[in-house]
Amino acid sequence: MQQLHIFIAFFRSGMLGYGGGPSAIPLVKKEVVDTYKWMDSDEFGDVLAIANTLPGPIATKLAGYIGYRVGGVIGMINALIAAVAPTVLLMVLLLTTLTQFKDQAWVIGMTKAVVPVVGVMLAVMTWDFLKKSTGGLGWTKAILLAFVSLVLMEFIHIHPAIIIILLMVAAWIPVKRKQKEKEVQEQKRETV
């Protein structure tokens, strides 16, 4: 039954994720976090951040990891097939049909109407992540970090993976420093 749920979750998000990987992210989150509760929103954010640093399409990386985590190797294969199959089927069916009617007003309108919907889905997910980050950082630091990230990606053209890796290292340094200080304090207590 678990394998069926994995297939349904990723097939549904693959089928409705018109516009590529970024449009599928909120749909995968809905399935994984809200519908099946395989992980919480914070965990999903961590998985998404790491997946963004790796090469390849984001939807297949999410499907592969989450499928593996939930159902092992078979779950991974199942999730990957479910995530890729709708794209393949729809490409064959829609592209052959849409290329015949590409100059029709309804086709042009349909493709233009998808862009704001995907934008809203991504904005809602971004807002959710921003609200969650304020719990650890506070509003000022979270907004400042979001603004700096926006400037680095959009205006200086630094790849998001580089920013994510730098932030991970920046978060890791104080943790290591605290661990080292704790070890030193424990050694002092042992000698006393």
HSE of 28, CA atoms in CB hemisphere, 13 A: 29
> How is 75-133 classified by DSSP, letter by letter?
HHHHHHHHHHHHHHHHHHHHHHHHHHSTTSHHHHHHHHHHHHHHHHHHHHHHHHHHHHH
> What pLDDT, on a 0 to 100 scale, did the predictor assign at position 35?
93
The ranges of the chain with pLDDT < 50 are none
Domain residue spans of the chain: 2-158
Listed in sequence order, the residues at least 6 apart from 91 whose beta carbon sits closer than 8 Å to its beta carbon are: none
Query: Hey, how many other C-beta atoms are within 10 angstroms of the C-beta on 181?
Result: 10
The one-letter code for the residue type at 127 is W
Distance CA 132, CA 43 (A): 11
Please report the pLDDT score of residue 130 as a whole number.
Answer: 85
The pLDDT value recorded for residue 59 is 87
pTM: 0.60
pLDDT at 19: 64
pLDDT score at 103:
83
In this prediction, residue 20 carries a pLDDT of 67
Per-residue pLDDT, 161: 86
pLDDT at 173: 84
pLDDT at 36: 95
- pLDDT at residue 64 in the model: 94
